[in-house]
Chains A and B, each alone.
Chain A
Amino acid sequence: MRKTSLIFVYGPLLVFLALFALVPIIGVISSSVWARGITSEFYAQSLSGQYLNAFFTTIQVAFWSGLAGLVGGGLAALALWRTGWRWLTTALSALSGVLANFAGLPLAVAFMVTLGASGLVTNALQTLLHINLTQMGFNLSSSGGLILVYSAFQVPLALLVSLPALTSIPDDLEAAALSLGCGVPGYLRRVLLPILAPSLLGTFALLFANAFSAYVTAYAIAGGSINLIPIQIGYLIDGNVSLNVGLGNALAVEEMVVLGASLWVFALSVRLRAKRRAKVKGETAIV
């Protein structure tokens, strides 16, 4: 292909990426350390007071919702894989795809009308069983409430991510383990779990990143009453841009560092799995 036509092939992508990703992001990074000279004041600010608290709350919500997602989605994936119902697997994967990627806002609304202060379940518990959720300390817009809501998209995401890890396990592995005298529980715990450990860690890292960057769900449910990093960044944009851009940029850079590190762990686990599978295939071929 001639060089001129290569410009038409790659040019639009390069311009698009430069304009709508690279340059704006470099702008954020550079102005997080620059205000009439190099400065670390924005980072100092972003790691103290309410912003430091926001970090702790965000980590807390991301950690627990990630763990809930890993356990719930992992067990559901295990059950689907072991029962081997293909149509159910396809249907639940599709459902999970919708919930994990596209359901932030409807999900928030669904939880508010069911478990909110005057939600259906809240009211039903009050009138039928005289259980007052609010008096028991339950509040949908607290970090505990958000962990519950986030789990509704973390569990489907974990299912989606861990299914391929499970299906990549060779079928004869179980037969081999069973014939060597370890029962099904032993196979699950002593053979499967060690094999899956990197995948589980990777999945958890992905879920952590997912919750750490979630904005819409938290915004719809709690508005300004929950102190999370994405909410703080949104507030700095929405409220008063000119007031403290540097602080917002510092928070954004910290957010990107956390997400980058988590996704790096996830990518490592995926690559490890691919390598291992190639190795298993190679050995079978030799035999």
Chain B
Amino acid sequence: MFEKWLYRVLIVLFLLQVLLPFAGLIQFTLVGGSGALSWASFATLFSDPSFASSLINSLWLAAAAVLLSIVIFTPPVWHAYLYAPRLLRVIEAVSFTPFVVPAVVLALAYVQFFSSGLLNLVGTPYLLPFAFALLGMPFYIQVFLNRLRHADARAIHDAAQTLGANDFQAFVRIQLPLLRSGIINGSLLVFTISIGEFTITQLTTGGSYVTLPLYLLITFTNNPLEGSAMAVVTLFLAVAGVVAALTAASGRRRRTPAVTAGEEAS
């Protein structure tokens, strides 16, 4: 009896610790200005033209990062999983690079490497989708592998080949639809990471290319109310991304939920 209550208290304490700052944030956003409940901070935010432009900047960068992840990571992980388990282990290990090389070190490396010659990309946003894809790599590969392990992909691929499909046909027409939910989940995580990325964006563009997170910090400095409204929006986007990924994962047997989740996030 005592034990049960102890566990409940621990769970409540965890929830308090985790949610109190955000309760404070939401309260500040809604009543901080006038002392009365008001949506004014959100109205200011959404009518700000730089909000729209930073949203567009973030969206295309995230979309590009997702596209890169799908094109670059899917075929080798699939092939190595089926035919080269040793190589797969190497790919998995390499995919954890961003944990050992954090964003700030990557930014330092990029400003030196991409500052001259053919690849003079520092100061432009064109470096960012690649950087975001690298940051999302461990998440994308783990989620995709998880789907591969549950899909019996090898047997299905062998069957397709026995029926006369070549590797390319079998990959595009059988494997991709089979593994779609893994690709969608991984994409959602890469998307969420890209939408929230601050460090590399700020350090390689010198703050000249304003995405949502940069806009958040600039706005918060000038107008805390509008900035905290932006923080609420950012948080909401992250929650939506993760919930959509989870919904897609749990709905893997049924077709519709995975598709709906994908549409919601994009």
Is B32 an interface residue when CB atoms closer than 8 A count as contact?
Answer: yes
Q: Are A20 and B130 in contact (CB under 8 A)?
A: yes
Q: Are A113 and B241 in contact (CB under 8 A)?
A: no
Q: Are A78 and B10 in contact (CB under 8 A)?
A: yes
Q: Are A152 and B18 in contact (CB under 8 A)?
A: yes
Task: Give Cα A236–Cα B107 distance, bound, in whole angstroms.
Answer: 11
Q: Are A80 and B216 in contact (CB under 8 A)?
A: no
Q: Which residues of B are at the interface with A, using a C-beta cutoff of 8 A? A: 3-4, 6-8, 10-11, 13-15, 17-18, 20-22, 24-25, 27-28, 32, 68, 71-73, 75-76, 79, 83, 91, 94, 96-97, 99-115, 119, 130-131, 133-134, 167-168, 192-193, 196, 198-199, 202-203, 206, 213, 216-217, 220, 224, 227-228, 231-232, 234-235, 238-239, 241-243, 246
| A111 and B104 contact, Cβ closer than 8 Å, known pairs A16-B72, A24-B110, A28-B109 | no
Within 8 A of B (CB), among A199-244: 209, 213, 215-216, 219-220, 230, 233-234, 236-238, 241
Q: Are A83 and B11 in contact (CB under 8 A)?
A: yes
Within 8 A of B (CB), among A102-141: 102-107, 109-115, 119-121
A111: chain B residues within 8 A (beta carbon): 21
Q: Are A120 and B27 in contact (CB under 8 A)?
A: yes
Q: Are B196 and A107 in contact (CB under 8 A)?
A: no
Q: Are B217 and A28 in contact (CB under 8 A)?
A: no
Is A17 an interface residue when CB atoms closer than 8 A count as contact?
Answer: yes
B91: chain A residues within 8 A (beta carbon): 13
Chain A residues within 8 Å of chain B by Cβ, number = 82
| A99 and B18 contact, Cβ closer than 8 Å, known pairs A113-B25, A113-B228, A237-B107 | yes
User: Nearest Cβ distance between residue A252 and chain B, in whole angstroms?
Assistant: 4
Q: Are B96 and A28 in contact (CB under 8 A)?
A: no
User: Nearest Cβ distance between residue B218 and chain A, in whole angstroms?
Assistant: 11
The DSSP consensus for interface residues of chain B is: helix
Could you list 13 further interchain pairs (A-B, Cβ under 8 angstroms) beyond the known A12-B76, A16-B72?
Answer: A8-B75, A9-B75, A25-B105, A105-B213, A106-B22, A109-B25, A110-B22, A112-B220, A113-B28, A114-B28, A119-B24, A120-B32, A249-B108
- Nearest neighbor of B77 in chain A, beta-carbon distance: A13
- Nearest neighbor of A255 in chain B, beta-carbon distance: B105
A79: chain B residues within 8 A (beta carbon): 6-8, 10-11, 14
The DSSP consensus for interface residues of chain A is: helix
Is A156 an interface residue when CB atoms closer than 8 A count as contact?
Answer: yes
Q: Are A237 and B242 in contact (CB under 8 A)?
A: no
- Stretch of A41-49, A90-98, A162-170, A273-281 that contacts chain B: A90-98
